[in-house]
Structure 1
């Protein structure tokens, strides 16, 4: 996209005691705030900024370093400098799927189905499904926002859900698929949030470095008849994602 006509006319005050790089970072900050660069949009390259402001590459780099420090932009190795994503919030006080928690924020998330197979329920989680369920539909989906991967979800669903096509699983949240097959509502979910370091698989799929910290959300969901219908683990990039829970003061009775 050609930004030349949209950029703010600007002349550096070279006699100004304010460092040149601070003047440049201030202007870029204003342009980002005005919406010149879309969220997660790419900024001009260092070479382009050098030509625009007629300064050295070191000065441009210092200006970008300032914005990186303020978390306004981020550098992506081999790709350039991008406007930082806005903070994604996942409310824990309302039952929603991971996908729906992004949609209600006005985002257009994408789910990319990586695998789908009827598989044995791992022994470690078999107790939540009950003794009668030995197999479930195992799906692995990559969640993206603005084309950037933010989470990898691995789910075991009721075996009956395997009747749904690959395309449907890729395009709709798990809860909708479960409710469509069972005719029952997902009524409850137990959530637990932990952390772990990214191994080679998560680093590759989430486009991060090995050893970077990840948020891990475990979700166990139940139908209105009390049967467990979903056990999911979401490995989430934490730099632009936060969990939010509203709590209210409860008056304790006198004398307690």
Structure 2
């Protein structure tokens, strides 16, 4: 279980220790990483924050981080900071499950925050998928892990789901709502992974900077009848998130 940020021990460094200051800092950060202090995002404090904490210069902090990078314990993301290596949230694409369920199955403290729920006239490109229906339910939900935003989902769902309450839509994944109201869960989905830069809306919602890179998962799900079950765009912070799948080689 990860420790809260305020559990950092502000024990001063030993100035008489034969071990250099930067090595002491590197050791302290490594111990905290191994204890899960920086999960789930894996992001370490800024160089200035680390320097202020230990009372050292940024040059000393950089030496400590360089040591952790060389040991494979830390990776640097240009313009984003330093992160614990190898602690990524993974979303398998070879099994059909909801975004929220994928987070929960990894043992993460995943929650959803409903930002919008309304009946809308479907945009032309979406209406073609739900034809002959002209109206549908638009739902916007923020996905969080340990209270930190990891993704924003914009979903178009069958109009029949509009009778669900705000609390029900906030608590239940889309596939669960579909199964409850439509009597069946989606049987297949077409998924595409794209990349784009965050506009101001996405930046504000996901607590990142405008222009930061995002992963975008575009998913259209279908019932066994071929009718469209949902059309969703997930805008995902990529620092600690990756999409994975397994495949089998077949000789031609």
Instruction: Please name the residue that 1:156 is paired with.
Output: 156
- Alpha-carbon shift at residue 217 of structure 1 (Å): 0.7
**CA distances 1:84-128 after superposition (whole Å, capped 9, x unpaired):** 893011101000011111111111211110010000110022211
- Alpha-carbon shift at residue 58 of structure 1 (Å): 3.7
Instruction: Please name the residue that 1:147 is paired with.
Output: 147
Distance 2:140 2:247 in 1: 33
Bigger radius of gyration: 1
Distance 1:68 1:201 in 2: 35
Distance 1:250 1:2 in 2: 51
Candidates 44, 54, 59, aligned match of 1:49: 54
Are residues 134 and 67 of structure 1, via their aligned partners in 2, closer, same or farther at CA, if it must alter by over 3 Å? farther
- State whether residues 158 and 230 of structure 1, in contact with CA within 8 Å, keep that contact through their aligned partners in structure 2: yes
- Alpha-carbon shift at residue 229 of structure 1 (Å): 1.4
Q: Does 1:104 align with 2:105?
A: yes
- Alpha-carbon shift at residue 220 of structure 1 (Å): 0.5
> Structure 1 stretches of 5 or more lacking a match?
51-55
Distance 2:168 2:215 in 1: 27
Q: Does 1:166 align with 2:166?
A: yes
Distance 2:65 2:29 in 1: 12
- State whether residues 144 and 151 of structure 1, in contact with CA within 8 Å, keep that contact through their aligned partners in structure 2: yes
> Structure 2 stretches of 5 or more lacking a match?
1-5
Instruction: Please name the residue that 2:235 is paired with.
Output: 235
- State whether residues 158 and 229 of structure 2, in contact with CA within 8 Å, keep that contact through their aligned partners in structure 1: yes
Distance 1:48 1:148 in 2: 23
Distance 1:58 1:233 in 2: 40
Instruction: Please name the residue that 2:188 is paired with.
Output: 188
Are residues 3 and 229 of structure 1, via their aligned partners in 2, closer, same or farther at CA, if it must alter by over 3 Å? closer
Instruction: Please name the residue that 1:53 is paired with.
Output: none
Equivalent position SS for 1:208 = coil
Are residues 180 and 138 of structure 1, via their aligned partners in 2, closer, same or farther at CA, if it must alter by over 3 Å? same
Are residues 250 and 173 of structure 1, via their aligned partners in 2, closer, same or farther at CA, if it must alter by over 3 Å? same
Distance 1:147 1:82 in 2: 18
Are residues 151 and 99 of structure 1, via their aligned partners in 2, closer, same or farther at CA, if it must alter by over 3 Å? same
**CA distances 1:138-192 after superposition (whole Å, capped 9, x unpaired):** 0111111111111110000000000100000000100111110111221111101
- Alpha-carbon shift at residue 48 of structure 1 (Å): 3.5
TM-score normalized by structure 1? Answer: 0.81
Equivalent position SS for 1:24 = helix
Distance 1:67 1:158 in 2: 53
- Alpha-carbon shift at residue 34 of structure 1 (Å): 3.6
- Alpha-carbon shift at residue 204 of structure 1 (Å): 0.6
- Alpha-carbon shift at residue 67 of structure 1 (Å): 7.4
Give the stretch that moved more between structures: 183-192 or 92-101: 183-192
Equivalent position SS for 1:170 = helix
- Alpha-carbon shift at residue 20 of structure 1 (Å): 2.8
